[in-house]
Structures are given as structure tokens and as C-alpha cells.
Amino acid sequence: MADEWQELRVSNDALDDPPELRARMDTEGYVFIKGLFSPHDMRSLRRAMTEVLQQHGWLQAGTDPMDGIAVIEAQCTEGDVGYTDVYHEVYKLQEFHRSGHWPVIMDAMGKIIDAPVLPHPMKIARIWFPQYTDHTTPAHQDFVHFQGTFDTYTCWAPVGDCPEELGGLAVVPGTHKVGKVVDHHFSLGAGSLVVDDEAQQGTWRSTNYEMGDALLFHSLTVHKALPNVTEDRMRISLDNRYQSIHEPIAEHMLTPHLSQDNAYDWDDVYADWTDDALKFYWTGRDQATVPRDLSYGERGFAEAVERAAQGDPAARLHLERIVRRDPTSDNARKASEALAAAS
């Protein structure tokens, strides 16, 4: 894999030069900062997250949870009911949500956005099992998932060292300049959508990430995860979004991540919190909202139905997950009919 990507450009030299930082984001669609986050803070967050994962059987009992040694038999991913149940236990961590508001990321995003910053309430963690490469996040633009305004930025940060073999993030510089959402199609992996090969043209850039590193990129920048090809190590990362408070935010980004998969709301998240300032921090302001555009997901679902009818095992697996997740939904009914017809 090493010959398929080149090193990310490091932009620490521009951290104290906001115009230059914005210029690099405008030109390349990403800014990579080495050691943006405090290793102490990241280690503390990793400890909290991995202890929960070990308690729920995703990391080997009797090992140091910080080592992230996965239980291979527990493999699951976003879309699986079992994944959501454990993920939401991690999601309850106050430390996890606070990390999206750490001063260093708010300062960096403020310089890039050049306006007061709104961290999206929907914080996201990515927890990826080893030996599960068919489910690696495919190449896509983030806008299809969070929507609102194009001028929204993702901060991806590994919660622990993340060398190539563990599956860090890769981007294609300049792909945001297309200025629009390109065609996305059905795929396995987080989000279940992938862009055409043509939209991926250019040189992929990535690195052997270290704890504390942060990759910031525009909502239209094409990016993907590298596969976790380790024997037994879990990859854990943060995947949070930021925008100007003056731009609209999509309504679904004001809800907990994966809350559509079960009965889960902010009261569940906040049940054991001690910091009231973090709760519902986005309310009480004149923040414009827009409804979610469901067309991206609907197109991907329709393609999965069509491909399942042709015997595509990945599409069948996707439809089976939809049925298990919510058997009473309209999509589950359509998925069941497609699976039956293809049998």
C-alpha cells in the first residue's frame, strides 16, 4: 500500500498565520497538523473509550485495554445492531464529547473558518475491527452525510498511534474544487456510499499517524479509510465536524450519532454527566437549520436492491442488516422482498 499514497503536507508552520492556513485549505482541501492534540488528553480519552470496549467484549479480557487487542469473534460494524448497542455505551462518555471542544481544535477551526465556530453536536467515533477489510470506509465526500453547508470541515484524529497497517485516513488534494456533490453509489463501509473512480483522480495522500495528529478537510474533499490489516488491533478515531454559526446546519446533525438505529436520545447520553455546560450547548441561539436531503441514501439503497437481485453478496449483506435493524420499516420491507426474490 505504501506506493499508492504520498505523504500529507504538514502545516504546523501555518498555525499562527490564519490567512496562510486558509489558503492551504482553499488550495488543497485539507490541512494536516502534527501533534495538535495533547498526548496526555488523548491517552486519557483512549483509556476511557477502550475500557468501555473491553467491558463489552470487544477487546481481549486480561489485556491492557490501551493496547486495543480486539476479540475477532465480536467483529461488527456500523449498521449492525450489536455495533450500535456497544457504540452508544462509548458515546455516553463525557470525555468523548468534550474532546470536540478542546481549545486547540476550536482555535484551529476558527482560523480556517474565519468566523465563530459551531462544533456539530453529532460527535462521531470510528471503531474498526481488524481482519474486516471488506467494510473499510470507501472513497466519498462528507457532505452527503452531514449536509447543511459546503463550508463545513471534518477533523479526523486517531485516538492512539495509527500507522498505515491500522487504517488511517487518506485524501485526494484539490478534489473539493469541483464545487458540488459528485455521484455516489452503493458500497459497504461506513456511510454505504462511494464515488466513481473518476472523482478519485489524483494522488492519494496519507501518513503514519501518531497520537495527537489531526487531519482537517473540507466537506467536498474526496477521502477514504485505509484498511485495518493488523492481526488483532482495533483502530479508534474521532470524526467531528465544524462550521460557522452563521451557516445553516442540517437537522439530523443535532441528534446523537446512530440514534436512528435504536431509541436513543440526548437524555440517554447525558445521564451520568457532571458538566452541564456541554449539554445542549447549541440551543438558545439563532442557528438556522435545514431538513436532511434523503436522496443520497435513497439512491444507494435502490442500487443495493438492484445489485442484490443480481446476486451481489455485499448488497445482500447490506439489505439483511437493514431488515435486522428495523424489521418494520419501509426499507426493511423492500429489502426483504428483494432478498426473497433473489433467493
Q: Helix/strand/coil (H, E, C) string of 53-101?
A: HHHCCCECCCCCHHHCEECHHHCCCCCCHHHHHHHHHHHCCHHHHHHCC
pLDDT value of position 1 = 43
Q: Could you tell me the three cell numbers for 66?
A: 490501551
Cβ contacts of 54 within 8 Å, gap of 6 or more? 60, 61, 63, 65
Binning pLDDT at 50, 70 and 90, where does residue 190 land? Answer: confident
Give the per-residue pLDDT at 296: 96
Outline where DSSP puts E strands in the chain: 6-7, 30-33, 117-119, 125-128, 152-158, 169-171, 184-186, 193-195, 205-206, 214-218, 223-225, 235-244, 249-250, 289-290
How much is the pLDDT for 193?
Answer: 97
175: exposed, middle or buried (Cβ count in 10 Å: 0-12, 13-18, 19+) = buried
Q: What are the phi and psi torsion angles at 308 (to 5°)?
A: -65, -40
Asked if residue 160 lies in contact with residue 151, where contact means CB atoms within 8 angstroms, the answer is no
Helix or strand (DSSP H, E) at 341: helix 330-342
The whole-model pTM stands at: 0.96
Spatial CA neighbour of 128 closest among 176, 70, 177, 86? 70
The mean pLDDT value for 224-234 works out to 97
Domains and CATH numbers, the chain: 2-291 (2.60.120.620), 294-343 (no CATH)
pLDDT at site 285: 85
> In 3-state terms, what secondary structure has residue 264?
coil
Predicted confidence (pLDDT) per residue in 270-316, tens digit: 999 999 999 999 998 888 999 999 999 999 999 999 999 999 999 99
Task: Give the tens place of pLDDT for each residue, 115-154.
Answer: 999 999 999 999 999 999 999 999 999 999 999 999 999 9
Cα separation, 343 vs 276, in Å, equals 53
The percentage of the chain sitting over the pLDDT mark of 90, rounded to a whole number, equals: 92
Size of the chain in residues: 343
d(CA 139, CA 17): 31
Q: What is the DSSP letter of 29?
A: S
Local confidence band at 4 (pLDDT 50, 70, 90 cut-offs): confident
Give CA 337 to chain center in angstroms: 31
**Strand duo 235-244 + 125-128: pairing:** antiparallel
| Residue 322: partners with Cβ closer than 8 Å, 6 or more residues away | 79, 301, 329, 331, 332, 335
Backbone angles phi, psi at 171, to 5 degrees: -130, 160
Query: 31: which strand partners?
Result: 216
Distance between first and last Cα of the chain: 37
pLDDT digits (tens, 9 = 90+) for 22-79: 999 999 999 999 999 999 999 999 999 999 999 999 999 999 999 999 999 999 999 8
State which H helix or E strand residue 26 sits in: helix 18-28
Q: What is the per-residue pLDDT for 262?
A: 80
Looking up cell 488550495 gives: 27
For residue 195, the model assigns a pLDDT of 97
> What's the mean per-residue pLDDT of the chain?
95
Task: Enumerate residues 6+ apart whose C-beta is below 8 A from 201.
Answer: 172
Backbone φ, ψ for residue 166 (5° rounding): -85, -15
Residue carrying the nine cell digits 436512528: 260
Residue 298, number of CB atoms within 10 A of its CB: 11
